[in-house]
Structure 1
Amino acid sequence: MSAQTKYAAMSRRAAMTAAAMAAMATLAGCNGGGTPTAAEGDMALGAAEGAKVTVIEYASVTCPHCATWQEQTWPAFKAAYVDTNKVRYVFRELPTPPANVAVAGFMIARCAGEDKYFDVIHGIMASQGEWRAGVNPRDTLFRIGNGAGLNNEQIDACITDPANLKASEERSEAAMKAGVNSTPAFFVNGVEVVTPGGEGASMADLSRAIEAELAKG
């Protein structure tokens, strides 16, 4: 089976998985989606595990609201809380349509290595406009993967590896079973922070929740 055929098969399976996840979301209730307990596959920045404050974001590389939050809020949030090690920031993957692109993007980020994971995630989010302009998302993923040090053969192997796809499905299932059904979703020490009408939680609302937790004895 050629790499292109494998990629197409992975795309179909990823789309089916996303449909199943969407169906689960309609049944799931809020059940500790932001619990600060470490989960399999967590990717984190900032303070070490066990920090006084853990901020968890559920997001997708294909979610336009996630991309907007990344562009508008992440720089200030990172400077205030991540770079200063005031919080442990955890990113959890929850694919959104087009699911095959999201799943492939997540896998490429992981194959690039922990030290480049967030660079790849942020790079894909920032490139969403290319798809709206007619660029094939696969070309974008490969370009970003190449920039992270992966050659095309390595990327093909990464995104067609059944073990990688299975792990991605398990992370999605865990998010849905926890009651998370939209992206981006933010939790500060297990409590969801929502900014009505916003593109994800605002810096002001996140700061309010974080500072309240930091102030506790």
Structure 2
Amino acid sequence: MYLTRRQFIAASATFSALFALPFGRSLSLTGTAQAQTVSSVELMQAGPLGDIVVGRDDAPVTIIEYASMTCGHCATFHNTTYPELKKKYIDTGKVKYILREFPLDALAAAGFMLARCAGNDKYHAMIEMLFAKQKEWVTQNPIPPLQALAQQAGFTKDSFEACLKDQKILEGIEAVRTHGAEKLGVNSTPTFFINGKLFRGTLTIEELDKQLQPLLKS
């Protein structure tokens, strides 16, 4: 089931009802590598909105994560592992990191839309805030807390509502999700590709160490 524009152009009460409708699921798997080969061309193909890269372009290792904003395991990764990954590998020029949108429900898509509307320079800050505060806005009535968080990032009521009606951004996010599912075999979140090698489920920093160290030595 895919998202449609009409899910985002109704009033707040309708938003709340729509955001309660799941159309995917998150799996509680550990970070295990899969014997799957994907095309490097397909893997490095950015969506219509472009990739927002963290780290040096010439870093020897590229990590691509497919995540959903309402995924509890994704929040765990971003709240616990990602800060260590950034400090140890991204900030030191060893890893280039790319987050790609794979919303498993309409509310997750809304979170990604707001991050895109915030602008490239604020995209990851918005993502990290929404993951850190996930329990506050992933509720049966998500609009008030989500709007309050967006206002902390500089949104007004009007810009918040306008963002969730932006067809171009919605279609761009959906294109990334569709490409990931159809071309790369992504079917749960989080899913990682480390230099093309597929991992499903949350990764700890210790598990990342085991994968990254050999790549950095080679």
So what's the TM-score if we normalise by structure 1?
A: 0.79
| Structure 2 residue aligned with 1:26 | none
Which of 201, 204, 210 is the aligned partner of 1:202? 204
* Structure 2: tracts of 5 or more residues without a match: 1-5, 25-34
Q: Provide Cα deviations, 1:25-79, integer angstroms capped at 9, x if missing partner.
A: xxxx95528865241232220111x532101111111000111111221111111
Whole-Å separation in 1 of the counterparts to 2:135 and 2:15: 26
So what's the TM-score if we normalise by structure 2?
A: 0.78
> Is residue 14–residue 103 contact of structure 1 (8 Å, CA) maintained in 2?
no
SS of 1:5 mapped into structure 2 = coil
> Is residue 53–residue 97 contact of structure 2 (8 Å, CA) maintained in 1?
yes
| Structure 2 residue aligned with 1:37 | 44
> Is residue 81–residue 205 contact of structure 2 (8 Å, CA) maintained in 1?
yes
Which of 48, 70, 83 is the aligned partner of 2:91? 83
Whole-Å separation in 1 of the counterparts to 2:113 and 2:16: 12
Whole-Å separation in 1 of the counterparts to 2:20 and 2:71: 16
Q: How does 1:115-154 map to 2 (within 5 A)?
A: 115-131=121-137, 136-154=141-159
Whole-Å separation in 1 of the counterparts to 2:146 and 2:162: 14
| Structure 2 residue aligned with 1:66 | 74
Aligned: 1:163 with 2:165: no
Aligned: 1:182 with 2:188: yes
Whole-Å separation in 1 of the counterparts to 2:16 and 2:137: 20
| Structure 1 residue aligned with 2:62 | 54
Q: Structure 2 counterpart of 1:43, which letter?
A: I
Offset of residue 13 of structure 1: 10
* Structure 1: tracts of 5 or more residues without a match: 20-28
RMSD across aligned positions (CA): 3.0
Q: 1:9 and 1:57, CA in 2 relative to 1: closer, same or farther beyond 3 A?
A: same
Whole-Å separation in 1 of the counterparts to 2:21 and 2:168: 17
Q: Which has the higher helix share?
A: 1
Aligned residue pair count: 197
> Is residue 76–residue 203 contact of structure 1 (8 Å, CA) maintained in 2?
yes
Offset of residue 108 of structure 1: 0.5
Q: Provide Cα deviations, 1:150-205, integer angstroms capped at 9, x if missing partner.
A: 211111111112222111111110111110111111221000245xxxx6012122
Report percent identity of matched pairs.
36
Which of 199, 214, 217 is the aligned partner of 1:215? 217
SS of 1:181 mapped into structure 2 = coil
